Amino acid sequence: MAMESLGVLLLHPMNAYLEQELDSRFRLFRFWDSPPDGRAEFLRANSSAIRAVVGNAGYNADAALIDALPSLEIVASFSVGIDRVDLPKCRERGIRVTNTPDVLTDDVADLAVGLAIAALRKIPQADRYVRAGLWKAKGDYTLTTRFSGKRVGIIGLGRIGLAIATRVEAFDCPVNYYQRTKKDCPSYTYYPSVVELAANSDILVVACPLNEQTRHIVNREVIEALVPKGLLINIGRGPHVDEPELVSALVEGRLGGAGLDVFEDEPNVPEALFALDNVVLVPHVGSGTHETRQAMADLVLGNLEAHVLKKPLLTPVV
C-alpha cells in the first residue's frame, strides 16, 4: 500500500511540523476544518478513507469516534498518556495503538523539579514583585522555603518518576515512592499506599498514568496526610487530583502549596487558585519544548509508516 493512500485524521492542531509532515506523507484530514455540528456528517462522508487517527493528551480516539470509523486500523497518539483512547474498544476491534514514550521523559521531569523549586522559592511571585516596581517601593522580598533536602514522594516511579528521582537526588532529597509494584532500587523507600507516602513526604509528585485506579488518587485523605506544609506537584493528569479538595486545602491554608501543569477540566483552571501566592500554574506544558515535540512528531510519523509498511510498530501500546 502506498503511504499517500493512508487516510489520517488529525483531531486537533497540535504541532505545525507534525501537521506538515502528515500532509506531505499521507492523506491528511483536519478534523477542525469542519464545524462542530458538521463533524458527524464529515465522519460519515470519509469513513472508508480514514484508517488512522492522530490524537493527543486532550483529544483522542474515544468510543464514539472509533464507532464512527469502521475502517480505523491505528491510533497514533502524540502523547505518552493514552487515557483518552478507548483501549478496550481498540483491542476488541484489532485497532493498533501507539504513543510517544521516552522522548519526553527528561522534559517532564525537568518541569516537575522546576515547579517544585518555583513554588517553594516563589520564583514567579518574586518576578512579579520586581516587575511591579515593589522592590524599590517596599524593599526586600519575603523569605521563602528551601527545596534542597526535602523528602520527595513520587506516585508512579516509571520513566518520568525515575527521571524525577535521579534529578532530586542531586538536591540531596530523600526519595520515597508508591506504585503497585515495589522496585528493586534500595536507595528509594517504597510505601504500600499513597496515604503513607504522603505522610512521609514534604513534596508529593503525581507521575502515574490516569486510569480507573488512579482517578482522584490524591483525595482529601492524602492531602490531609501531606499537611501541614506539604507541596503537591502534578505533572500527571488533572483528574489524578480531587481538584475541589485541593483548592479548599490551599484556600484554607491546610496545604503548603502546589505546582500544577495539569487540571481536571483543561483549559479551565479554578479561579480561586489565581489569588493564591503559594501556587504555580502552567498550562500543560510538560513536554512542550521544540526539541521534544519534534521527537514526538517523528515517533508518530514513524509508527504510521511502519504500519503502512507492515513493519513492527516503533512504540506499540496495543
Q: Using CB under 6 A as the criterion, which residues of the chain lie in contact with ligand NAP when the complex forms? A: 80-81, 101, 104, 108, 156-161, 179-181, 207-211, 213-214, 235-237, 261-262, 284, 286-287
Among residues 167, 240, 284, 307, the one annotated as catalytic is 284
Q: How far is the CB of 46 from ligand NAP (least distance, A)?
A: 30
DSSP string computed for 165-181: HHHHHTTT--EEEE-SS
Task: Note if 237 is an active site residue.
Answer: yes
Residue among 237, 240, 293, 307 flagged as catalytic: 237
User: Residues 173, 114, 103, 283: is their CA dihedral positive or negative?
Assistant: positive
Query: How many distinct helices (H) and strands (E) make up the chain?
Result: 12, 12
Nearer to ligand NAP, 180 or 290 (CB): 180
Alpha helices in the chain (DSSP H): 16-25, 39-46, 63-68, 87-93, 105-121, 123-131, 134-138, 159-169, 194-199, 220-226, 243-251, 290-308
As measured in angstroms, the least distance from the Cβ of 133 to ligand NAP is: 34
Active-site residue flag, 221: no
Provide, rounded to whole angstroms, the least separation between the CB of residue 179 and ligand NAP.
4
Is position 266 annotated as part of the catalytic site?
A: yes
Closer by beta carbon to ligand NAP, 18 or else 235: 235
Judged by CB, which is closer to ligand NAP: 35, or 181? 181
Name the minimum Å distance from CB 299 to ligand NAP: 13
How far is Cα 230 from Cα 227, in angstroms, rounded to an integer? 5
102: left (phi over 0), alpha (psi -120 to 50) or beta: left
Residue nearer to ligand NAP on the CB measure, 209 or 302:
209
In the block, residue with C-alpha cell 506537584: 233
Catalytic residue from among 19, 224, 266, 305: 266
Query: What residues are annotated to the active site?
Result: 237, 266, 284
